[in-house]
Structure 1
Amino acid sequence: MIYPQNFEQKIGFDQIRQLLQEKCLSPLGEERVADMDFSDRFEVVEERLNQLTEFVRIIQEEESFPDQFFFDVRPSLKRVRIEGLYMDEQELFDLRRSLETIRDIVRFLQRKEEDEESDSPYPNLRKLAGDIAVFPQLITKIDGILNKYGKIKDNASTELARLRRELASTISGISRSLNGILRSAQSEGYVDKDVTPTMRDGRLVIPVAPGLKRKIKGIVHDESASGKTVFIEPAEVVEANNRVRELEGEERREIIRILTEFSNTLRPSIDDILQSYEFLAEIDFIRAKSYFAIQTNGLKPALENEQLLDWTMAVHPLLQLSLAKHGKKVVPLDIELNTKQRILIISGPNAGGKSVCLKTVGLLQYMLQCGMLIPMHERSHAGIFGSIFIDIGDEQSIEDDLSTYSSHLTNMKMMMKGCDERSLILIDEFGGGTEPQIGGAIAEAVLKRFNEKQTFGVITTHYQNLKHFAEDHEGVVNGAMLYDRHVMQALFQLQIGNPGSSFAVEIARKIGLPEDVIADASEIVGSEYISADKYLQDIVRDKRYWEGKRQTIRQREKLMEETIARYEAEVEELHKSRKEIIRQAKDEAQHLLQESNAKIENTIRTIKEAQADKEKTRQVRQELTDFKESVEKRGVKEQEDRVAQQMEKLRRRQERKASSTPTKAGEKKAEAPIKPKVITIKEGSYVKMKGQTTVGEVLEVKGKNATVAFGSIKTTMKLDRLDPTSGTPQKQEIAKSTFVSSQTQDQMYEKKLNFRQDIDVRGMRGEEALQAITYFIDDAILVGMGRVRILHGTGTGILRKLIRQYLETVSGIKSFNDEHVQFGGSGITVVDLA
């Protein structure tokens, strides 16, 4: 139920209908827009919104959707139901092209996803096209009658071909005869040299001056408007022209016969064809709504089968389009109605946006339940209401003898009678139009009835008693349209939780009302009221301040948690690197052992084959000894080099992270490696690897080797590869090798705040897209993002395949999958980062 009758006009939906009709391709869609209605059935609304979401994807991602020929031939089809009537050439041509469009649309929607065995990527539109008949035989039959320009073909029938051949031959003979007569007349001087035969009343004639008309025997058919020229049909071609007229009549009768015969063939299928045109009308309607959704950034919120309003960044579409023409933007609306806060009482200054807020709620909810996408953030939730009532504006009527207040009371009576727990009521200036004291009392009593019926609603008011009612009754909540009293300017932002001030004194002072008048008014209303209003303003101001602080703290806490998680991940990576080094060392040792065994066996075999030749045996034993020494040296050196390489990689990675942002002018660069000094290295000493800055502690010294702990990594190294530090290092010095500077942290924080989690590579070439994604993923890993989205579109699937092949090679990626179907499906890849 929608109340009152001019509901659409009050919220501006009549303008929405007009904009939609302008986007339709034919009267087919325009009729659907005119018949568009409000539905309170969740399944119907859900299906309509899904169809729109899919068609928006088609518009944005597909290039081959067939929408060229949307013709409304229903009147012609209904006319030829009568025996003997037929469609003319143009109607038949429109029928052929529109039937082809219907066929191509059905094929498009019923096709399967490329390179996959799944059903159509547009299941809701496919369902809409499921039982729609196409008529390839009719298209073929029309092609046998009409040429590509929509004219009857010469070979449409044998008789028509004969008639047109004879007609062409007769006209050619007439032209030859006329040209001969004209040349003779020109030579005699009866006709000017530049005159040519012309057509009058369908007959070929010669233009002649009136004074010379008797020089040429024939029939005068016409004269020019000035009277200076007469048009004569020579007697020699009269019979031929008569024959042309006869042939043209026969040709027309044959064409009518062909069209009538086709209409007889068409007649049994007219009902099915009309049903197919209803499908074409629905596609035109959906297309218009989709283009409007793209124009206004409309989307489908999370739809719930209950009464709910949980909108984030909702925008009034008409206001958005109007302000966009002047380069301005709408202040978005955040609003929530649920079972605990069903009725929202909005207060605040005049011209502060209360009525716009009310109309935004009414228009967007009505659009949603009419099956339209609405402009708001994708994380919004919306419910379904069984009825919507609105009371806004001045409805006084001279004919019905209704005052402004009487009309408001009439609306209140209808609302109380018709509302229930599934209703949404929208009332502007509740209780206005009469003496404030009794008007506020009646408004409070009506509000009480609404609350008892557990209805939902948005109500604007200036009455203090309604603000107090909201504070004292469960289910009703106060809201305020914010106002900056320092610059005396409305912010057009809704804040739920506290009532708003009217700022009457401040506004009066701003417009220049004398101070003595303001003082008298303050004295009349009482200091208690003025103080309460001031306290209310202070509460709103403080709440805004602390809300901003809370948001800042929340962002910093999130950043700190992500930083801790990143460092923990790096420590884990160090542990894994250490295990990997040990594993590689063991594998190398096993390989050396196998090589040594093979060498020993080969030596024994050589000695046996030499049959105890002393010189040969000594030579083989020397080779074995040399091999043993080389293995020992190589094993130790390779293990040391491998550890050094791993530590060098870890150091360079830390340096890249720290140097990703410029250093302060006053910061010192890392000191150059200190040359080895003759200082004894012993257990407990602090040392550095040559060329490195990482400090480690010596755990044990054995001969020329030392076991050193670098953080959580222990390794054995030659003493000559270590440099002792000068004295015991402070904790701060060790920390500097691990953590970045405060400026780097601030710049990383700023970089993360400005980082966008989405990238759009549609339309790019493969190499160009991969390069953009490479930089994007590197930045995402650098700032510690947990999830990013890559918008590549569906298309042929090649770009999607290239991108995923690249993602498989990136070590910092945990997983990647298609986006949820309602947010883009296979056209978007969601990447979870490690």
Structure 2
Amino acid sequence: MIYPDNFEYKIGFDKIRQFLTDKCLSTLGEEKVEDMAFSSDFDLIQSQLSQTEEFIRIIQEEDNFPVNHFFDVRPALKNIRVEGTWLDESAVFDLRRSLQTIRDIVSFLKKEDEENTPYPHLQELAGEVLIFPQLLTKIDAILDKYGRIKDNASSDLNRIRKEITHVSGGISRSLNAILRAAQSEGLVEKDVTPTMRDGRLVIPVAPAFKRKLKGIVHDESASGKTVFIEPAEVVEANNRIRELESEERREIVKILIAFTDEVRPLAPDIVQSYEFLAWIDFIRAKARFALDIEAIKPTVENKQQVGWDKAKHPLLYLSHKKQNKSIIPLDIWLDDENRLLIISGPNAGGKSVCLKTVGLLQYMVQCGLLIPLAESSKVGVFDKIFIDIGDEQSIENDLSTYSSHLTNMKMFVRNCDSKSLLLIDEFGGGTEPQIGGAIAESLLKRFNEKESFGVITTHYQNLKHFANEHKGVVNGAMLYDRHLMQPLFTLSIGNPGSSFAIEIARKIGLPEDVIAEASEIVGSDYINMDKYLQDIVRDRRYWETKRQSIRQKEKRLEEITSQYETDLTDVGKQRKEIIRQAKEEAQRLLSEANAKIENTIRSIKEAHAEKEKTKEVRQGLAAFKAKLESEDVQTDDKISRKIQKLQEREKNKKDKPKVAKEEKQQTISVGDSVRMKGQTSAGEVMDIQGKNAVVAFGMIKSTVKLDTLEKVSKNQIKRESQKSTFVSSQTSDMTYDKKLNFRQEIDLRGMRGDEALQAVMYFIDDAIQIGAGRVRILHGTGTGALRLLVRDYLRTVNGVKNYQDEHVQLGGSGITVVDLE
């Protein structure tokens, strides 16, 4: 439940709707924006938020999501319910392109395995959407890629169009012959060409000679200096053209009726598929808007709470962004312990903005929109939202502002509950302060008893006291800098705020005696209490700053300590490893020495040495071994000191071959394959002249400095060639899109020579790239300079097979037709 009816206007949601509407691609999405409504269904809210979040990822990570043709053909489908009606060519073309878009979107969303799809909620939305492949095939059979009926759409149409072409050719030849004869007789100027009037080919003639050329006068120029005559020789042929054109139109209608008869039974299913297209358009608009306001999908829990960190008012954020200004975010927490927040503070301190931010963001998220706040935030769901804000005085209903306020309070008290969110600005204001404050306190008590949530702004002291003395209600203050005498637009929860009335009056320049008298009237207790509130706020700000500073330093200290502990652990592991290796080496030496001594003893025995002598030798060996083992312990410290030197020595050993290898690689000789550093094109070194090298890049030789070159292997060139091929395959999609949107005619009339030439260059390049067979360049007749300039350029283009004037019936020398290879 939302109250009152103008709720969206009061919180600014009507402007949010307009932003979304502007981002839609069609009326399909715009209708969804209009139908968007507040919901308390937790599962629905989660689903809508997830759909928008997934589309944001598509925008940021995917390049091939189809968004080209969002056409609404539902009105056209509605108009063909009656037998005998038909879809015209443009409607069929829109139907074909939009159905292809639906098919591409469904294919995109279902291309991944259903269990591992990155867009599960959008894939679920695609569900069982029908894509009508057979209908697309039928449309392709009758329409070409530009949306015109194909010649072979029917045998009769093919015959009619061939006859039109034949008759038109005869008319053109006859007109040219008549025109040349008239020019030789001086009846017509040399640069005149046939033109069209009322769909018929005519010859422009000066009024003085109009009786010398037999035919029908169809029109004259606005100046009266030219009349347009249809020669008698071509009148019948032109009449035949008219008849054939009527036959052509009847045959096209016949084709369209037959096609429409096939579409009519499918119309309900097609409309259902367009419902899916509407949702995609709507979700895309929501995602685009979310990116504009830096919104996220918050943690939404199915309970009543407002736990927001760094929340921003979207409209205020966009306004500040245009002015390159920052916005002060809002931190606000309402839970079961502190449900009703009483915000006090000076006027123009941000109380109302705070209240509107809460109302707008909560309403947005329950309409399925992402909202701008920190990821640590937690969002709840409310069944009802009530708002009382602004001047509601009504002349028609004879209600004062306060009467309207009380009417709203009556509505709130009767309907609020533990799942309601109340947003009340200037609670109790608009009437005599003492009774207004008393009524406000009584209402606040009932709101608290019903365990409602809410944000309430006020200046009344008794409401601040009530918040301090009752569980479930908490004070909040909009902070104010007492020294600079300006608001900080920051909400602090826990203490009430001061109105700073005395300080503001003194800053404005109100006479001091007036301020002193006002202070006496109010009383010292009130003034002191306001002062104490200011001191509390000031001290709270000071200690909050201190606490933040200490927290940052502690965090930094923890990071440094953790880093030191990690480094010490690594050093300890290295030390133990080096000692272990050293001991293994010492043990190996001992084993070798022991083996040598044993061999000596064996030799002594074999030489029949005395037993006493052998025993002596063995004792000496044991003493030597013990001495070495004791030295192992004593040398631990020495080994520790040597660790760094050993590591450096090992590193140098590893680096030397690498450096040598790099130096070897960088030695450039004649015949080597090289490329310029940072470039991809490879060339061959033809000659070396001191610090310079002559390099052949294809057919071009260039002298470059040796230190700007690097050697490349044949395998590397091959890999890069393959990579280049891969990139080219990626660009094929772009070429396909360009081919779909390419127009085979360009109009140069009105352009300057250089501007027209550049336009033709780009046009011909695009035509060759997409493989267009024939294009038309409309330059007009005029002085003929533009025609000459275009044709001079066409002679230099390799891809141009030939070019000539257009058929006289279709524009003659004012249009150049270009055939491409």
TM-score range for the pair, normalised by the shorter chain length: 0.7 to 0.9
CA shift, 1:258, in A, is 1.4
Q: Deviations over 1:96-137 (max 9, x none)?
A: 111111111111111227xxx952111111111122111222
Q: 1:133 to 1:636 in 2, by over 3 A?
A: farther
Q: CA separation in 1, counterparts of 2:174 and 2:354? A: 83
CA shift, 1:598, in A, is 9.2
Instruction: Give the secondary-structure state (helix, strand or coil) at the position aligned to 1:277.
Output: helix
CA shift, 1:592, in A, is 5.4
Q: Is the 8 A contact 2:167 2:237 kept in 1?
A: yes
Q: 1:554 to 1:207 in 2, by over 3 A?
A: closer
532-541 vs 254-263, which deviates more? 254-263
Q: Which 5+ residue runs of structure 1 have no aligned equivalent?
A: 614-627, 655-763, 766-797, 799-834
Instruction: Give the secondary-structure state (helix, strand or coil) at the position aligned to 2:422.
Output: strand
279-288 vs 190-199, which deviates more? 190-199
Q: Which residue of 2 aligns with 1:196?
A: 193
CA shift, 1:157, in A, is 1.8
Matched, 1:250 2:242: no
Instruction: Give the secondary-structure state (helix, strand or coil) at the position aligned to 2:137.
Output: helix
* Structure 2 letter corresponding to 1:216: L
Q: Which residue of 2 aligns with 1:37?
A: 37
Q: Which residue of 1 aligns with 2:430?
A: 433
CA shift, 1:200, in A, is 1.9
Q: List aligned pairs for 1:58-457, cutoff 5 A.
A: 58-112=58-112, 119-457=116-454
Q: Is the 8 A contact 2:386 2:423 kept in 1?
A: yes
Q: 1:385 to 1:652 in 2, by over 3 A?
A: farther
Q: Is the 8 A contact 2:583 2:632 kept in 1?
A: no
Q: Which residue of 1 aligns with 2:506?
A: 509
Q: Matched residue pairs, number?
A: 637
595-604 vs 188-197, which deviates more? 595-604
Q: CA separation in 1, counterparts of 2:526 and 2:645? A: 68
Q: Is the 8 A contact 2:296 2:371 kept in 1?
A: yes
CA shift, 1:227, in A, is 3.5
Q: Deviations over 1:587-630 (max 9, x none)?
A: 4456557878999999999x9xxxx99xxxxxxxxxxxxxx9xx
Instruction: Give the secondary-structure state (helix, strand or coil) at the position aligned to 1:480.
Output: strand
Q: Is the 8 A contact 1:111 1:119 kept in 2?
A: no
Q: CA separation in 2, counterparts of 1:482 and 1:652? A: 62
Q: CA separation in 1, counterparts of 2:204 and 2:64? A: 55
Q: Is the 8 A contact 1:585 1:639 kept in 2?
A: no
Q: Which residue of 2 aligns with 1:733?
A: none
Q: Deviations over 1:379-421 (max 9, x none)?
A: 1111001010000001011111111100000000111111110
Q: Which residue of 2 aligns with 1:694?
A: none
Q: 1:635 to 1:234 in 2, by over 3 A?
A: farther
- From 550, 555, 568, the counterpart of 2:552: 555
Q: CA separation in 2, counterparts of 1:323 and 1:78? A: 46
Q: Is the 8 A contact 1:345 1:460 kept in 2?
A: yes
CA shift, 1:218, in A, is 2.5
Instruction: Give the secondary-structure state (helix, strand or coil) at the position aligned to 1:306.
Output: coil
Instruction: Give the secondary-structure state (helix, strand or coil) at the position aligned to 1:343.
Output: strand
* Structure 1 letter corresponding to 2:237: A
Q: CA separation in 2, counterparts of 1:140 and 1:596? A: 91
* Structure 1 letter corresponding to 2:342: I
Q: CA separation in 2, counterparts of 1:644 and 1:95? A: 85
Instruction: Give the secondary-structure state (helix, strand or coil) at the position aligned to 1:397.
Output: coil
Matched, 1:581 2:594: no
| Percent identity between the two aligned chains | 67
Q: 1:445 to 1:603 in 2, by over 3 A?
A: same
CA shift, 1:199, in A, is 1.6
Instruction: Give the secondary-structure state (helix, strand or coil) at the position aligned to 2:224.
Output: coil
Q: 1:551 to 1:358 in 2, by over 3 A?
A: same
Instruction: Give the secondary-structure state (helix, strand or coil) at the position aligned to 1:351.
Output: coil
Q: 1:525 to 1:279 in 2, by over 3 A?
A: same
* Structure 1 letter corresponding to 2:102: I
Q: Is the 8 A contact 1:85 1:260 kept in 2?
A: yes
Q: CA separation in 2, counterparts of 1:653 and 1:391? A: 74
Q: Is the 8 A contact 2:203 2:228 kept in 1?
A: yes
Matched, 1:486 2:480: no
Q: Is the 8 A contact 2:342 2:473 kept in 1?
A: yes
Q: CA separation in 1, counterparts of 2:189 and 2:633? A: 113
Q: CA separation in 2, counterparts of 1:198 and 1:551? A: 83
CA RMSD of aligned residues (A): 3.2
Q: List aligned pairs for 1:653-668, cutoff 5 A.
A: none
Instruction: Give the secondary-structure state (helix, strand or coil) at the position aligned to 1:334.
Output: strand
Matched, 1:526 2:486: no
Matched, 1:460 2:487: no
Q: CA separation in 2, counterparts of 1:431 and 1:120? A: 54
Q: Deviations over 1:543-602 (max 9, x none)?
A: 111112222222333333444444444443344334323432454456557878999999
Instruction: Give the secondary-structure state (helix, strand or coil) at the position aligned to 1:479.
Output: strand
* Structure 2 letter corresponding to 1:50: S
Q: Is the 8 A contact 1:73 1:94 kept in 2?
A: yes
Q: CA separation in 2, counterparts of 1:546 and 1:416? A: 39
Q: Deviations over 1:68-110 (max 9, x none)?
A: 1111111112212322111111111111111111111111111
Q: Which residue of 1 aligns with 2:7?
A: 7
Q: Which 5+ residue runs of structure 2 have no aligned equivalent?
A: 608-621, 649-677, 680-725, 727-821
TM-score (norm 1): 0.72
CA shift, 1:647, in A, is 3.8
Q: Deviations over 1:280-328 (max 9, x none)?
A: 1111111111111111110111111100111011110101111222221
Q: Deviations over 1:626-676 (max 9, x none)?
A: xx9xx999999999999867544559999xxxxxxxxxxxxxxxxxxxxxx
Q: CA separation in 1, counterparts of 2:251 and 2:189? A: 41
Q: Is the 8 A contact 1:53 1:300 kept in 2?
A: yes
CA shift, 1:369, in A, is 0.5
CA shift, 1:212, in A, is 2.9
Q: Is the 8 A contact 2:384 2:421 kept in 1?
A: yes
Q: CA separation in 2, counterparts of 1:406 and 1:31? A: 38
Instruction: Give the secondary-structure state (helix, strand or coil) at the position aligned to 2:466.
Output: helix
CA shift, 1:14, in A, is 0.4
Q: Is the 8 A contact 2:575 2:643 kept in 1?
A: no
Q: List aligned pairs for 1:807-826, cutoff 5 A.
A: none
Q: CA separation in 2, counterparts of 1:602 and 1:62? A: 77
Q: 1:649 to 1:75 in 2, by over 3 A?
A: farther
Q: List aligned pairs for 1:686-765, cutoff 5 A.
A: none
Instruction: Give the secondary-structure state (helix, strand or coil) at the position aligned to 2:375.
Output: coil
* Structure 1 letter corresponding to 2:188: V
Q: List aligned pairs for 1:623-662, cutoff 5 A.
A: 647-649=641-643
* Structure 1 letter corresponding to 2:93: F
* Structure 1 letter corresponding to 2:96: R
Q: CA separation in 1, counterparts of 2:328 and 2:429? A: 27
Matched, 1:496 2:493: yes
Q: 1:598 to 1:86 in 2, by over 3 A?
A: farther
Q: CA separation in 1, counterparts of 2:643 and 2:71? A: 69
Q: 1:639 to 1:585 in 2, by over 3 A?
A: farther
Q: CA separation in 1, counterparts of 2:91 and 2:536? A: 71
* Structure 1 letter corresponding to 2:97: R
Q: Deviations over 1:150-185 (max 9, x none)?
A: 212222222211111110010110111111122222
Instruction: Give the secondary-structure state (helix, strand or coil) at the position aligned to 2:280.
Output: helix
